[in-house]
């Protein structure tokens, strides 16, 4: 490995401080540190450090996304051929999906990382690894037929307005990937919602319906899928959100490695189930409800983007609540509002995106009250003491 | 009945290179050094000039802002050199030691019979007061304060550090005498923390409130003991002192001599002869460390909180451990891949090292990554047993927000309480330095 190292050190020479390409150091460093963990040593304080770093953490999230991504590629192809009345081989379906989805990932990474590098160079800090996850999440939550230029625009909006405007990684209020999706959703609604977009080429081929389960429920139509299909994910939807099974596989990796906080996921599921149960009980309380409110509460957990959102988006540590108690409240409220928006707002058949963004905004407020609790304990102790001495 | 302090949050780090339990007389140190930076915020005023002769116990310097905060010489000899830095700041005072140490005679004083002011005056006028550390702020104690309690922890839970049972063996009478003296300084109690598991002679010490400690590091930190018994409030002062320094105080009261003997454990995988050595406060590193691997970091103190010293340098004034570990100035290919390089310890589950809790790890000084923005949440809480919100407090310190720091409990912590946070955090931030800066802001703004 030594000769590789020497080669890299040679390439890096013009980027050293005092040399003419010094400005571009963050860019070359970002590439170098992907090959080698740098030889930096501690200066003071703790002389030893844990093996974990942000790269390792972020790559773990990317690993957790892989099952859902692969399934998403296959499912995109399968839905397309299935609605045409064909039964595709695995590879045929997968390649059809990959042909659509890989370019989206390339565009997302190229545009997003380009911006991240530019900001790192401009601000003179190292490139943060957060975009490795964001850049993969953005295509995964888009409809399969979205034009690439829309992906690019959404990425630009998410990185510039969602993240860098707030000061960069670690400072953003909203989840950047959802910011991208929300931008596309409101800017190009015809490409992001409706009945004709959820299956590959549904808008051009008449025989493909391309309606999601939540879409048909909202229109009070019969659902043509059973619970097993909803759970495994062989249904139309955004690219990678359909398979609850693959999402659970990713969730297990995230929870076992403690990269994502289990509290948020668990409380989110509890919140959603509670809201589902409440809505299911409406008829017994004499309220008629609609197709969505009468949809069994456990089915609510496995259709739509709920599972994907609660596992991969709600747990984004930067935009989530940061205190332990806060995480419980934050997760539960996401679950409650997601199902509430889904069932009671006719304009949005799915609610998870908006509910996470809403709670992102409220997360600092939730934290504020938890922190106040800690502060109050301290003040009370001081008062007790002054009472005793008085 | 001892008070039980049992904590769950924290981290027990098993590292290679512990010292064996045998004490050896170190080679005589030719010089000793006093570094004002070992006493945070102390601005030194020299009493002696270069070339002056002194006995062990003679005053060398005092604090510009409090002339009762004095530092006396650990040896008899000649003041060889005052090393100065920018703006003539005193960096180091080098004293050349005589072959035979001459002691200044302070006379015998029985602390149990003497009244409080006499004991207090004896401690601060003869330079023993410098061993007392003040909380809040982690600075030398102010001779005019009466602390609400004094805390001693005789159980060091940080990795690769000296055991006080070895250090205090044979000095227990002096230690008891020192405790007796300390009881005269406070209106409250003197607390002594000991390892719950060991049947130590330290449990028989009288005139103290005994605390039995169990749990992972930082269970043995004085900060943890204070927090678990009577947490600090605004406006309160608590003093802390290290056990071997209590013995030095006790000996000085009993014999009239200031015997600055330090038993130092040489530890760490890069040191060859790992055992305890009897030497002096501020002694030359080379007097106890002869054989070590090249390209090593020599740390006076523990790997978590110690001071980096050179092989031809001198020990930190307070440290009883000299840790030698390899420098980590090497690149590691694809070291960021999860579940790779499991031989490097990680508290995070993105490495498989948690599957082997008993394994002793080799460590080096590599940062294992680069500094990043604070992204991951919840990991600091896992190693913070105090009822403190670590990330929020760190952010308040970074922002210099005095009200927030005070509200979030800055008075209850010192940098060493954040050593594990610094070790484990994913973003590689220097948590101890941030807390130190926060405390410094509080000193200047609140006082």
Check CB contact of A286 with chain B, cutoff 8 Å.
Answer: no
C-alpha triplet B327, B332, B334: angle, nearest 5°: 155
User: Quick one: residue B163, left, alpha or beta (phi over 0 = left, psi -120 to 50 = alpha)?
Assistant: beta
Half-sphere exposure of A258 (CA within 13 A, CB side): 17
Q: Where are the domains of chain B?
A: 1-330, 367-445
From chain A, pick out residues whose CB is under 8 angstroms from the CB of B138: none
φ and ψ at residue A374, rounded to 5 degrees: -65, -40
- H/E stretch holding B150: strand B150-153
Helix, strand, or coil here: B154? Answer: coil
ipTM value = 0.92
Residue B364 has pLDDT above 70, yes or no: yes
Pick from B303, B306, B375: CB nearest A169? B375
From chain A, pick out residues whose CB is under 8 angstroms from the CB of B378: 258, 261, 317, 322, 324, 327
- A 245-264: CB under 8 A from B: 256-259, 261
| Helices (runs of H) and strands (runs of E) counted in chain A | 16, 1
- B 232-251: CB under 8 A from A: 233-234
What's residue A24's pLDDT? 86
Residue B22 has pLDDT above 80, yes or no: yes
Peptide bond just before B136 cis, omega within 30 deg? yes
- Most confident listed range (A76-85, B84-93, B196-205): B84-93
Instruction: Decide the pairing of beta strands B321-326 and B261-267.
Output: parallel
- Note whether A280 and A136 are within 8 A (CB): no
Cβ contact B330–A130 (<8 Å): no
Check CB contact of A11 with chain B, cutoff 8 Å.
Answer: no
C-alpha dihedral sign at A17, A18, A22, A28: negative
What's residue A4's pLDDT? 85
Cβ contact A385–B233 (<8 Å): yes
Kindly give, in sequence order, each residue whose CB lies less than 8 Å from that of residue A109, ignoring residues fewer than 6 positions away.
A131, A135, A136
* A161: number of Cβ within 10 Å: 15
Q: Determine whether A370 is exposed, middle or buried from the number of CB atoms within 10 Å of its CB (0-12, 13-18, 19+).
A: buried
* B327: number of Cβ within 10 Å: 18
What's residue A84's pLDDT? 86
From chain B, pick out residues whose CB is under 8 angstroms from the CB of A318: 375
Q: How far apart are CA A297 and CA A279, in angstroms?
A: 8
What's residue A389's pLDDT? 61
Residue B331 has pLDDT above 70, yes or no: yes
φ and ψ at residue B269, rounded to 5 degrees: -65, -20
- H/E stretch holding A353: helix A352-389
**Which candidate, A268, A267, A47, places its Cα nearest to that of B321?**
A47
- Note whether A101 and A76 are within 8 A (CB): yes
Q: How far apart are CA B346 and CA B348, in angstroms?
A: 5
| Interface contacts (A, B; CB < 8 Å) | 214
Check CB contact of A388 with chain B, cutoff 8 Å.
Answer: no
Cβ contact B344–A378 (<8 Å): no
Half-sphere exposure of A277 (CA within 13 A, CB side): 7
Check CB contact of B348 with chain A, cutoff 8 Å.
Answer: yes
- Note whether B202 and B168 are within 8 A (CB): yes
Check CB contact of A323 with chain B, cutoff 8 Å.
Answer: yes
Q: How far apart are CA B30 and CA B435, in angstroms?
A: 37
- B 308-327: CB under 8 A from A: 308, 323, 325, 327
Looking at residue B203, the DSSP 8-state letter turns out to be G
Looking at residue B98, the DSSP 8-state letter turns out to be P
Q: What is the pTM of this model?
A: 0.93
Cβ contact B347–A52 (<8 Å): yes
Residues of chain A by 3-state class (helix, strand, coil), percent to 5: 65, 0, 35
Structure tokens at A287: 């309220």
- B 197-216: CB under 8 A from A: none
What's residue A1's pLDDT? 65
Cβ contact B378–A317 (<8 Å): yes
Cβ contact A317–B234 (<8 Å): no
Q: How far apart are CA A170 and CA B373, in angstroms?
A: 6
Pick from B307, B345, B373: CB nearest A128? B373
Cβ contact A50–B423 (<8 Å): yes
Which of B37, B149, B331 is the mutation pick for testing A, counting most A CBs within 10 A? B331
What's residue B440's pLDDT? 96
Q: How far apart are CA A275 and CA A277, in angstroms?
A: 5
Residue B430 has pLDDT above 90, yes or no: yes
What's residue A390's pLDDT? 55
From chain B, pick out residues whose CB is under 8 angstroms from the CB of A41: 297, 327-329, 365-367
- Percent pLDDT > 70 in chain B is 100
Q: In the sheet that B190-195 helps form, which strands lie side by side, from edge to edge?
A: B3-6, B209-214, B190-195, B150-153, B238-240, B133-135, B139-140
CA distance A227 to chain B (A): 34
What's residue A22's pLDDT? 84
What's residue A114's pLDDT? 94
**Which candidate, A58, A52, A24, places its Cα nearest to that of A37?**
A52
* A100: number of Cβ within 10 Å: 21
Cβ contact B371–A48 (<8 Å): no
Check CB contact of A49 with chain B, cutoff 8 Å.
Answer: yes
Instruction: Decide the pairing of beta strands B150-153 and B238-240.
Output: parallel
Q: Determine whether A262 is exposed, middle or buried from the number of CB atoms within 10 Å of its CB (0-12, 13-18, 19+).
A: middle
Per-residue model confidence as pLDDT tens for chain A (390 residues): 688 888 888 888 888 888 888 888 888 888 888 888 888 888 888 999 999 999 999 999 999 999 999 999 999 999 999 888 888 899 999 999 999 999 999 999 999 999 999 999 988 888 888 899 999 999 999 999 999 999 999 999 999 999 999 988 888 999 999 999 999 999 999 888 887 788 888 777 777 777 788 888 887 787 888 889 999 999 999 999 999 999 999 999 999 999 999 999 999 999 999 999 999 998 888 888 788 888 889 999 998 899 999 999 999 999 999 999 999 999 999 999 999 998 888 777 788 999 999 999 999 999 999 999 999 998 898 888 777 665
Pick from B233, B325, B377: CB nearest A322? B377
What's residue A125's pLDDT? 86
Structure tokens at B375: 């992204």
Mean pLDDT of all residues in B7-11: 94
């Amino acid at each position: 490995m030594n000769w590789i190292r020497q080669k890299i050190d040679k390439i890096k020479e013009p980027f050293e401080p005092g040399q003419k390409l010094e400005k571009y150091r963050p860019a070359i460093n970002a590439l170098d540190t992907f090959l080698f963990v740098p030889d930096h040593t501690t200066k003071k304080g703790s002389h030893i450090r844990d093996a974990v770093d942000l790269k390792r953490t972020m790559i773990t999230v990317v690993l957790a996304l892989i099952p859902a991504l692969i399934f998403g590629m296959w499912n995109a192809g399968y839905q397309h051929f299935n609605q045409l009345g064909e039964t595709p081989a695995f590879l045929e379906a997968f390649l059809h999906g990959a042909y659509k989805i890989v370019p989206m990932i390339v565009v997302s990474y190229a545009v997003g990382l380009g911006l991240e590098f530019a900001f790192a160079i401009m601000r003179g800090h190292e490139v943060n690894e957060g975009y490795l996850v964001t850049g993969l999440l953005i295509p995964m939550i888009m409809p399969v037929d979205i034009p690439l230029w829309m992906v690019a625009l959404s990425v630009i909006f998410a990185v510039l307005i969602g993240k860098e405007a707030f000061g960069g990684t670690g400072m953003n209020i909203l989840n950047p990937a959802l910011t991208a999706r929300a931008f596309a959703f409101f800017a190009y609604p015809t490409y992001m919602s409706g009945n004709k977009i959820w299956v590959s080429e549904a808008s051009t081929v008449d025989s493909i319906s391309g309606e999601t389960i939540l879409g048909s429920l909202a229109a009070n139509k019969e659902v043509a899928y059973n619970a097993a299909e909803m759970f495994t994910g062989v249904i139309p939807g955004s690219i990678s959100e359909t398979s609850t099974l693959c999402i659970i596989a990713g969730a297990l990796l995230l929870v076992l490695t403690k990269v994502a906080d289990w509290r948020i996921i668990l409380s989110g599921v509890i919140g959603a189930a509670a809201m589902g149960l409440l809505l299911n009980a409406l008829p017994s309380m004499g309220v008629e409800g609609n197709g969505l409110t009468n949809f069994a509460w456990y089915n609510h957990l496995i259709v739509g983007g709920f599972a994907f959102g609660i596992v991969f988006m709600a747990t984004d540590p930067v935009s989530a609540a940061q205190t332990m108690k806060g995480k419980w409240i934050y997760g539960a409220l996401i679950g409650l509002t997601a199902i509430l928006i889904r069932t009671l707002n006719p304009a949005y058949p799915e609610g998870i995106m908006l509910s996470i963004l809403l709670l992102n905004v409220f997360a600092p407020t939730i934290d504020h009250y938890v922190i106040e609790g800690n502060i109050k304990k301290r003040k009370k102790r001081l008062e007790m003491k002054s009472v005793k001495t008085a | 009945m001892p008070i039980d302090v049992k904590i769950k949050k924290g981290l027990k780090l098993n590292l290679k290179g512990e010292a064996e339990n045998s004490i050896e007389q170190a080679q005589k140190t030719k010089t000793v050094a006093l570094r004002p930076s070992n006493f945070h915020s102390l601005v030194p005023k020299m009493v002696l000039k270069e070339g002056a002769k002194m006995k062990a116990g003679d005053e060398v310097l005092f604090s510009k802002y409090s002339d009762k905060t004095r530092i006396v010489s650990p040896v008899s000899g000649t003041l060889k050199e005052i090393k100065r830095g920018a703006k003539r700041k005193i960096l180091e005072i080098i004293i050349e030691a005589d072959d035979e140490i001459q002691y200044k005679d302070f006379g015998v004083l029985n602390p149990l019979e003497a009244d409080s002011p006499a004991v207090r005056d004896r401690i601060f006028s003869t330079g023993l007061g410098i061993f007392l550390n003040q909380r809040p702020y982690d600075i030398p104690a102010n001779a005019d304060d009466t602390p609400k309690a004094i805390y001693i922890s005789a159980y060091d839970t940080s990795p690769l550090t000296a055991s006080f049972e070895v250090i205090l063996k044979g000095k227990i009478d002096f230690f008891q005498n020192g405790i007796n003296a300390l009881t005269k300084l406070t209106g409250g109690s003197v607390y002594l923390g000991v390892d719950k598991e060991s049947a130590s002679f330290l449990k028989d010490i009288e005139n103290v409130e005994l605390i039995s400690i169990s749990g992972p590091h930082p269970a043995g930190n004085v900060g943890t003991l204070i927090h678990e018994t009577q947490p600090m409030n605004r406006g309160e002062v608590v003093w802390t002192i290290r056990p071997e320094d209590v013995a030095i105080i006790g000996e000085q009261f009993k014999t009239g001599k200031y015997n600055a003997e330090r038993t130092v454990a040489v530890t760490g995988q890069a040191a060859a002869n790992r055992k305890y050595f009897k030497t002096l406060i501020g002694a030359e590193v080379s007097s106890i460390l002869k054989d070590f691997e090249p390209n090593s970091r020599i740390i006076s103190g523990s790997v978590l909180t110690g001071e980096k010293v050179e092989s031809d340098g001198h020990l930190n004034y307070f440290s009883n451990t000299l840790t030698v570990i390899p420098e980590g100035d090497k690149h590691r290919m694809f070291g960021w891949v999860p579940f790779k390089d499991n031989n490097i310890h990680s508290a995070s589950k993105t490495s498989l090292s948690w599957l082997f809790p008993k394994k002793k790890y080799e460590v080096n000084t590599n940062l294992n990554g680069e500094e990043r923005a604070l992204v991951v949440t919840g990991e600091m809480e896992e190693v913070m047993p105090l009822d403190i919100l670590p990330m929020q407090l760190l952010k308040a310190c970074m922002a210099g927000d005095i009200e927030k720091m005070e509200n979030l409990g800055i008075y209850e912590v010192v940098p060493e309480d954040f050593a594990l946070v610094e070790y484990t955090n994913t973003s590689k931030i220097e948590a101890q330095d941030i807390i130190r800066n926060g405390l410094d802001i509080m000193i200047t703004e609140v006082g």
